[in-house]
């Protein structure tokens, strides 16, 4: 289903990620793979300049796709959704958000999808870093199980490994990466 949009990396975002989020060393990724570098997008999105820039870039993409609802997997997507919603509010755009829990909560409303989820609306997902795409695929499965359809996915960083974005592109109409491993590493080499 659908295809992947050409990666148009934002140089300002790549520089900010290189400064605030990029680390070299020995790391274990969510996929279980070992890596000699790590890009912790939360370090950038939880800074004022990072939240502002990421919110603007996400909102630009959402507006271009006429998206009405944005969400993603807890925990990584929550600050990204918030940044996009804040920018949408600043612009006067009608946009709501949600997040998908790993498991159904066992109290309160006992839901897996929390927030302002409505399956009838035009839906996009955001993801901090895509490697295999597994986390995003779990979120797509949850949205579809609830009767919705994900139209696009916006990744802050594509690790350019394991065909993650291509795997996601088989399930949604549009896939975008705001930055890539290559763009962040190049920016890190210049600092």
Residue 90 main-chain phi, psi, to 5 deg: -60, -35
Residue 171 in 3-state DSSP?
coil
What DSSP assignment string belongs to 47-90? Answer: SHHHHHHHHHHHHHHHHHTT--EEEEETTTTHHHHHHHHHHHHH
C-alpha to C-alpha distance for 93 and 87, rounded to whole angstroms = 9
Tens digit of each residue's pLDDT (9 = 90 or more) over 47-95:
999 999 999 999 999 999 999 999 999 999 999 999 999 999 999 999 9
How far is Cα 19 from Cα 75, in angstroms, rounded to an integer? 22
Predicted pLDDT at 4: 35
Give me the CATH topology for the region 3-9+43-180: Rossmann fold (3.40.50)
Name the pTM for this structure: 0.92
Q: What is the pLDDT of residue 108?
A: 62
Residue 89 CA neighbour count, 13 Å, CB half: 9
Answer yes or no: is pLDDT of 2 > 70: no
Indicate the domain borders of the chain.
3-9+43-180
HSE of 166, CA atoms in CB hemisphere, 13 A: 4
For residue 117, the model assigns a pLDDT of: 97
CA 176 to chain centre: 9
pLDDT of 127 strictly over 50: yes
For residue 132, pLDDT over 50 is answered with yes
């Amino acid at each position: 289903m659908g295809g992947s949009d050409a990666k148009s990396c934002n140089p300002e975002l790549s520089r900010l990620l290189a400064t605030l989020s990029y680390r070299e060393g020995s790391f274990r990724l969510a996929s279980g793979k070992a890596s000699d570098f790590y890009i912790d997008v939360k370090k950038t999105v939880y800074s004022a300049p990072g939240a502002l820039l990421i919110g603007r870039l996400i909102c630009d993409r959402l507006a271009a796709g006429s998206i009405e609802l944005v969400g993603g997997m807890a925990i990584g997507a929550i600050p990204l959704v918030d940044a996009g919603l804040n920018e949408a509010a600043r612009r006067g755009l009608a946009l709501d958000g949600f997040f998908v829990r790993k498991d159904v909560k066992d109290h309160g409303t006992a839901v897996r999808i929390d927030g302002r989820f409505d399956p009838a609306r035009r839906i996009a997902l955001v993801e901090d870093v895509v490697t295999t795409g597994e986390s995003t695929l779990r979120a797509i499965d949850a949205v579809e199980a609830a009767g919705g359809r994900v139209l696009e996915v916006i990744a802050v960083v594509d690790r350019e490994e394991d065909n993650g974005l291509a795997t996601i592109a088989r399930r949604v109409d549009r896939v975008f990466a705001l930055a890539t491993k290559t763009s962040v590493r190049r920016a890190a080499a210049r600092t």
